[in-house]
């Protein structure tokens, strides 16, 4: 089933004929078209090297498209001034496979740091960081350092750090990739809760079980092209689609 966009409201994300060629000539994305309404929960699936992380780097404006346009919340990223980048990145919460916590800071300090660098008042930093750690179930780990935490706990801290700006959009690149299956499921439950509270979630993943069980929107990319966009899909149809094309 091909998803038809809901034009009754402005989409949160819109990619229009997006191409990305890296300096070494690699064509990582080819004519990608994608519309994501506010509130969506979307899995981006595809083999290693398919272009998932490239799409995410374009969305957070770490890279620019070679051709095409990307709109997020009505703003065209290619036209955004450098000085508007910090406020843009605050709208987007980013979560990585390898957590990317600062090792010399405690859980609380890792979350608070994300606000402090923006010059927020101490009171606001304290209150919001505390709330974010509560949402991820780590109220009892404020003073714990990353090396003293399990992988799942570290990923929760990273999610709290992403949530601390109350972002409209959460983008996660293989967030369960370094976790055992049970812990991966706990982290997924957290993303589902965050989505239910109103944030749009876009997640690149290799985790077939999770994609198959949750039956959310699945966008499959292969060789830099969108080859499937299912409203309630599974992981394996992605492989079937690319096998058929081969």
Ligand X SMILES: Nc1ncnc2c1ncn2[C@@H]1O[C@H](COP(=O)(O)OP(=O)(O)O)[C@@H](O)[C@H]1O
Computed from CA positions of residues 176, 166, 14, 4, in that sequence, does the dihedral angle turn out positive or negative? positive
> Which range, of 23-31, 76-84, 123-131, 185-193, touches ligand X by CB under 6 A?
23-31
Residues in region 30-89 near ligand X by CB under 6 A: 46, 48-54
Mapped onto helix, strand or coil, the DSSP state of residue 18 is strand
Quick one: what does residue 46 bind among Mg ion, ligand X, none, with the CB cut-off 5 to 8 Å set by partner type? ligand X
Mapped onto helix, strand or coil, the DSSP state of residue 233 is coil
> Which range, of 48-56, 188-196, 219-227, 237-245, touches Mg ion by CB under 5 A?
48-56
- Shorter beta-carbon distance to Mg ion: residue 126 or 178: 178
Quick one: what does residue 22 bind among ligand X, Mg ion, none, with the CB cut-off 5 to 8 Å set by partner type? ligand X
User: If binding is defined by CB under 5 A, does position 205 make contact with Mg ion?
Assistant: no
User: If binding is defined by CB under 6 A, does position 207 make contact with ligand X?
Assistant: no
The residue number whose beta carbon is nearest to Mg ion equals 53
Among 53, 176, 207, 225, which residue interacts with Mg ion (rule: CB under 5 A)?
Answer: 53
Q: What is the 3-state secondary structure (H, E, C) of 111-176?
A: HHHHHHCCCCCHHHHHHHHHHHHHHCCCHHHCCCCHHHCCHHHHHHHHHHHHHCCCCCEEEEECCC
133: left (phi over 0), alpha (psi -120 to 50) or beta: alpha
Residues that bind Mg ion (CB under 5 A): 52-53
Residues that bind ligand X (CB under 6 A): 22, 24, 26, 28, 46, 48-54
């Amino acid at each position: 089933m091909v998803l038809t966009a809901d034009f009754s409201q402005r989409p949160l994300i819109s990619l229009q004929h997006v191409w990305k060629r890296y300096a070494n000539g690699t064509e990582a994305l080819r004519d990608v078209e994608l519309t994501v309404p506010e509130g969506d929960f979307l899995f981006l699936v595809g083999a290693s090297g398919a272009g998932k992380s490239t799409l995410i780097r374009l969305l957070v404006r770490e890279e620019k498209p070679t051709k095409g346009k990307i709109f997020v919340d009505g703003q065209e990223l290619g036209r955004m001034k450098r000085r508007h980048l910090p406020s843009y990145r605050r709208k987007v919460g980013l979560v990585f496979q390898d957590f990317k916590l600062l090792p010399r800071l405690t859980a609380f300090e890792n979350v608070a740091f994300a606000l402090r660098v923006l010059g927020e008042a101490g009171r606001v930093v304290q209150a919001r960081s505390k709330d974010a750690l509560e949402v991820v179930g780590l109220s009892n780990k404020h003073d714990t350092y990353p090396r003293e935490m399990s992988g799942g706990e570290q990923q929760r801290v990273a999610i709290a750090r992403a949530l601390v700006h109350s972002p409209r959009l959460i983008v996660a690149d293989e967030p369960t990739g370094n976790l055992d299956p049970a812990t991966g499921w706990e982290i997924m439950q957290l993303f589902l809760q965050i989505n239910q509270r109103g944030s749009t979630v876009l997640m690149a993943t290799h985790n077939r079980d999770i994609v198959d069980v949750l039956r959310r929107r699945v966008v499959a990319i292969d060789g830099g092209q969108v080859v499937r966009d299912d409203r309630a899909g599974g992981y394996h149809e992605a492989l079937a689609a690319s096998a058929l094309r081969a």
